[in-house]
Amino acid sequence: MTELAQQQRTAKILDQRAHDLLLGHSFAHQQIGFIHTLDIDYGEPMKQRTLLQVEVSAQQKRKQTSTAHHKYRAQASEQLHKVIETAIFKQLEDMDAVIQTTIGIEDSVATILDILAVKSASVGRLEPLVNDLSWLGRELVTLVNLPYYRNQRSKKNTAVKVDSPALALRYIGLDNLQLVIPTFAVRHWMPHSTEPFSLLKRRLRDSAMANAIAAQKIAEINDVNEIHAFTLGMLLDVGRITLVRLYLKTFEQVWQRKVQIARQENQKDLHTALLELKPDPLFLTTLLCNKSIQVSARVIDKMAFKYLPFKGVMEQLQNGVNKGDSALPLTQVMLKARCYSQYLILKEHQLIEPDETAAWFSYFQFTKTELKTLQTSNFTNLAIQID
């Protein structure tokens, strides 16, 4: 295997591992195959009394019953998820409905992001659009009134409490809004709950933020429009958000229907097995890893941006670069940003080795300047000043 092929293989493995980690630390460990402490054989077990023959017989019977039940439950889960997969792909055929009902993306959000991308942008053009989005108005007012930003304004004797979106827009300013509005939009689209994956929502939010900031930093170094990079970096996770929402909603609907049918038809074993089933992390991580970029590309295409040059970039991210062509500068930025944001979460949870990191960074051709800048960057908060 050539060095490039080995690096490509490493990149694919680490991408899958980062997706596994979204669903839980223990799950990611299981997928790698780590041995848990309780599984280690420390030597001879303590002596126990000899089981009576009747106890041995009962133990074997329980084991056989338990094994049979586990097999039956696994079959029930497989059949359930075949129905769920079909239902999800059927829903994805109508992307307009998914955007409106599953994610909840309003047309005016795309218009606002478009306006912010052009030099002729003004608060006056944004104001009526923001007024139509009550959730965005509330977020902007809340941001301006945070103690941290009120203290910034108090130094200029302007620390009045802001109570209207129009005033909040003016205090925040266009430069800051280019970062704030994409961030608030993506947070608004996040699922309300991701149970039983309790940390998934937070990790999706942190991933989007890290991806956007990394894209901004890399773009700045390479003379690529940093606002385009930040915005697309934030939007890149919309596919994962969509698939998480679709899976959890569809699982609940299909599961309830199957449980009801099993109860009505007096299928006791199936009913018992179904009651024990929960959303499957392996199914979801595979779905996210294989389909999220394609779904992001379709959602972004439906947002129909006029001025943000995302269409060609998303085509390259989805399908790769055509033979004889070269990757667009913004495509290169996105690939590096996604890699680095995934590296951050893997490093935090000690799920990546130095040799893997070196191969990964080499595959995406990070420069020393890029890595030095990223190593000293803050990926949790927006670097904004509100006057």
Q: Model confidence at 380, in pLDDT bands (50, 70, 90)?
A: confident
Phi-psi region of 330 (alpha: psi -120 to 50; beta: other; left: phi over 0): alpha
- Name the 3-class secondary structure at 331: helix
Position 383 confidence tier, pLDDT thresholds 50, 70, 90: confident
Query: Three-class SS of residue 39?
Result: helix
Residue 382: what pLDDT?
85
* Cα–Cα distance for residue pair 231/374, rounded to 1 Å: 18
The closest of 387, 380, 378 to 174, measured between CA atoms, is 387
Segment 64-82 shows an average pLDDT of: 79
Range of weakest confidence among 85-94, 120-129, 141-150: 141-150
Per-residue pLDDT, averaged over 300-309, amounts to 95
The span from the CA of 155 to the CA of 158, in Å, is: 8
Judged by DSSP in three states, 387 sits in coil
Please tell me the predicted confidence (pLDDT) of residue 39: 39
**What percent of the chain is modeled with pLDDT above 90?**
73
Q: What is the pLDDT of residues 244-268, one digit of tens each?
A: 999 999 999 999 999 999 999 998 8
Q: Which residue has the tokens 């991933």?
A: 207
pLDDT of 120: 86
Rounded distance between C-alpha atoms, residue 187 and residue 183, angstroms = 6
What burial class does residue 279 get, using C-beta atoms within 10 Å of its C-beta: 0-12 exposed, 13-18 middle, 19+ buried? buried
Kindly state the average pLDDT of the residues 85-92: 97
Residues 64 and 383 sit within 8 Å (Cβ to Cβ) = no
Q: Are 328 and 316 in contact (CB under 8 A)?
A: yes
What is the separation of C-alpha 96 from the centre of its chain, rounded to a whole number of angstroms?
21
Report whether 267 contacts 249 (CB < 8 A): no
pLDDT for 95: 96
Average pLDDT over residues 305-334: 93
pLDDT at residue number 158: 59
Tokens 């309300």 belong to: 192
Cβ atoms of 80 and 255 within 8 Å: the answer is yes
Determine the pLDDT at residue 66: 54
pLDDT for position 42: 37
Residue 84: pLDDT band with limits 50, 70, 90: very high
Average pLDDT over residues 350-369: 95
Compute the mean pLDDT over every residue in the chain, rounded to the nearest whole number.
88
Does residue 308 have a pLDDT over 70? yes
Q: Compute the distance between CA of residue 323 and CA of residue 357 in angstroms, rounded to an integer.
A: 28
Helices (H), ranges, 173-302 = 174-189, 200-221, 226-235, 238-264, 268-276, 281-302
* pLDDT recorded at residue 381: 84
Mean pLDDT, to the nearest integer, of 210-225?
97
For residue 54, the model assigns a pLDDT of 53
Report the helix count and the strand count for the chain, using DSSP H and E: 19, 0
Q: Give the tens place of pLDDT for each residue, 20-46.
A: 999 999 999 888 875 443 333 434 444
What lies within 8 Å, CB to CB, of 258 at 6+ separation is 80, 83, 274
Rounded alpha-carbon distances, angstroms, from residue 15 to 8, 19, 129, 217: 11, 6, 37, 21
218, 153 in Cβ contact below 8 A?
A: no
Three-state DSSP at 216 gives helix
Answer for the pair 150, 159: CB distance below 8 angstroms, yes or no.
yes
Going by pLDDT thresholds of 50, 70 and 90, the confidence category of residue 149 is: confident
Distance CA 70, CA 349 (A): 31
322/247 Cα distance (integer angstroms) = 32
> Is the pLDDT reported for residue 379 higher than 70?
yes
Residue-wise pLDDT tens digits, 45-68: 444 445 455 545 555 555 555 566
23: tokens are 């669903």
Which has the minimum average pLDDT: 8-12, 67-71, 269-273, 292-296? Answer: 67-71
For 281-303, write each residue's pLDDT tens digit: 999 999 999 999 999 999 999 99
Position 67 scores a pLDDT of: 66
